[in-house]
Structure 1
Amino acid sequence: MEQTIFQHMETVRGITKEFIQQIPEEIADIVPEGFNNSIRWNFGHIAFIQERLVFAVLGEELGVPSNYEELFSAGTKPADWKVTPPSLADILFVLTEQTTRIREAIQGNINKTLPAPFTNRLGITFHTRGETFLFSFYHEAMHMEVIKRIYRAITVE
């Protein structure tokens, strides 16, 4: 079962990586009317939240650049950025490298119990690393849909 989960991670992340490579830098920071964030923010947010759901919930060190929390955590937005965000190529590198670290950290540890139950903003409570990891696939897919909607809004205008 563990191999199936890792294969699913590679499939989901493959879709994300393929799409980020199609986005021109010049449109990555546009926030169309009706949206709160940009394409760049959503890709960075995917990487940051995956770190939190796999590593931070166990009190482990995050493997993303230190400014990702300031730029891409829940509740942040590009309008408030005080530092230059990473390029899409830099985010792609983080997304690519992240899957290797996750596989190494989780292999054989998918049922590792969290130090304390973790309840997310939706009110869902998780008890194991595997539960938070599996939820991250839903989170990534949800933000990929937002990215596609932003892209359509930008390219139709």
Structure 2
Amino acid sequence: MSKLIKQQFTRTRRVLSETLEGLSPEVTNIVPEGFNNNIKWQVGHILVVADLFLFKGQNQLPANYIDIFKAGSKPADWTGDVPEVKTLLEQLNDQLVRINDIPEETFNQALPKPFLGNETFGELAAMGAFHEALHLGQIQTLKRLIETIQAK
């Protein structure tokens, strides 16, 4: 199971990088009408949620990332230092190395208490991979919408 989960993280992040290739910082910062977030928030949210699900307590990300990219946050509320998408992608790649280094037996371990309906680390990791794919779809939608608006 762990091999498949790791492959899914790798696949999703490869497509994410391809999707973001060539996008300007201006485009990644646009929040289209009817949306709460932009492409940058989506990328940061993927990074933060994976860190919380898979590496809780290891503090691999800057302290302000949780406030910036947690569920319910939005760019309209941002203050202070917000990383560029390029930085977030580098951190996603570094995080992917750490994901692939998780020992196989870890995926069978029970969580201290069930979390979001998941009882094992592997179940939570699978949910994290699913979560990333959902947000990749949001990024693709935002990109297409912004490109369509800009073409008019």
Equivalent position to 1:145, from 125, 137, 149: 137
How many residues end up aligned between the 2 structures?
149
Q: Which runs of 5+ in 2 are unaligned?
A: none
Q: Which runs of 5+ in 1 are unaligned?
A: 120-124
| Cα displacement string for residues 36-87 of structure 1 (whole angstroms, at most 9, x for unaligned residues) | 100000000011011111122xxx3232222210110001000000113101
Matches within 5 A, 1:12-31: 12-31=12-31
RMSD value, Cα:
1.4
Q: Is the 8 A contact 1:126 1:132 kept in 2?
A: yes
Aligned pair 1:135/2:127, yes or no? yes
Instruction: Return the TM-score normalized by structure 1.
Output: 0.88
| Cα displacement string for residues 105-152 of structure 1 (whole angstroms, at most 9, x for unaligned residues) | 343311111111112xxxxx1111111110112111111111111112
CA distance in 2, matches of 1:116, 1:97: 28
Q: Which residue pairs with 1:109 in the alignment?
A: 106
Q: Which residue pairs with 2:47 in the alignment?
A: 47
Q: Structure 1 residue 22: deviation in Å?
A: 3.0
Instruction: Return the TM-score normalized by structure 2.
Output: 0.90
Question: Percent of aligned pairs with the same residue?
Answer: 35
Q: Is the 8 A contact 1:17 1:96 kept in 2?
A: no
Runs of 4+ in structure 1 off by over 3 angstroms are none
Q: SS of the residue aligned with 2:112?
A: strand
Q: Is the 8 A contact 2:5 2:125 kept in 1?
A: no
Q: SS of the residue aligned with 2:113?
A: strand
Counterpart of 1:127 in structure 2: which amino acid? E
Q: Is the 8 A contact 2:5 2:129 kept in 1?
A: no
Name which of structure 1's ranges 107-116 and 85-94 shifts more when overlaid on structure 2. 107-116
